[in-house]
Amino acid sequence: MTKLLVVVDYQNDFISGSLGFEKATKIKDNILTLLKNHQDDIVFTFDTHDENYLKTQEGKNLPICHCIKDTLGWQMPNDFDIYLKNAKKIFYKNTFGSLELANFLKQNYYSSIEFCGLVSHICVFSNIILAQSATPNSKIILHKNATTSFSESLEKNAYEILQAYGIELL
Ligand SMILES: [Zn+2]
């Protein structure tokens, strides 16, 4: 019965960089507390784009460069280094959801999967939906104090949908 903690896209560009917003800075300690207290496996996702970002479909919808591989904005804050070093796996993805993470969850059963990170109604939401399809018998939990959004109304909508899907919101 192993438990997995998934930290989604807690990267500088979403915190204080090109797509940063103040609420994102305030959940850092809560994520670090989850990381510190978690006994079992931990994985991370990294939003990862290249110089051609603006030409991608995401770039057309959101024409703000972010998370360009190997830049400071792509990295997570330094406090996360120790956890990144010990992570079971790191998933680099060039879109909201990580199919690699979903595949990993299909192949490695966890009794519970806990989510935190950024942004609640976008990449966190997308990865939870993928996770649920990949491993329907796992309990999926979202830590509300360790995720957030720049849009309160979209976040509220996302929470309602997740609850309707049977996701536990803590
Ligand atoms: Zn992106």
Q: In angstroms, what is the span from residue 41 Cα to ligand 1's centroid? A: 25
CB 137 within 8 A of CB 110: no
Residue 60 clears pLDDT 90, i.e. is over it: yes
- What domains does the chain contain, in order, with CATH numbers? 3-47+73-169 (3.40.50.850)
Rounded mean pLDDT, 147-161: 98
* pLDDT given for residue 94 in this prediction: 96
**Ligand 1 centre from 19 Cα, in Å?**
10
Q: How confident is the model at residue 1 (pLDDT cuts 50, 70, 90)?
A: low
H helices of the chain, where? Answer: 12-15, 22-25, 28-37, 57-61, 81-85, 99-107, 125-134, 152-164
Task: Please list, in sequence order, all residues whose beta carbon lies within 8 angstroms of the beta carbon of residue 140, skipping any fewer than 6 positions away.
Answer: 112, 113, 114, 115, 128, 131, 132, 166, 167, 168
Length of the chain, please? Answer: 170
> Residue 23 corresponds to which tokens in the numbers above?
């609420």
H or E segment to which residue 4 belongs:
strand 3-8
Q: Count Cβ atoms below 10 Å from residue 166 Cβ, excluding itself.
A: 10
pLDDT tens, position by position, 103-146: 999 999 999 999 999 999 999 999 999 999 999 999 999 999 99
- Mean of the per-residue pLDDT values of the chain: 97
| Residue 123: predicted pLDDT | 98
Query: 2: CA distance to ligand 1 center in Å?
Result: 30
**Rounded to the nearest whole angstrom, what is the distance from the C-alpha of residue 120 to the centroid of ligand 1?**
14
| Counts of helices then strands in the chain (DSSP H, E) | 8, 6
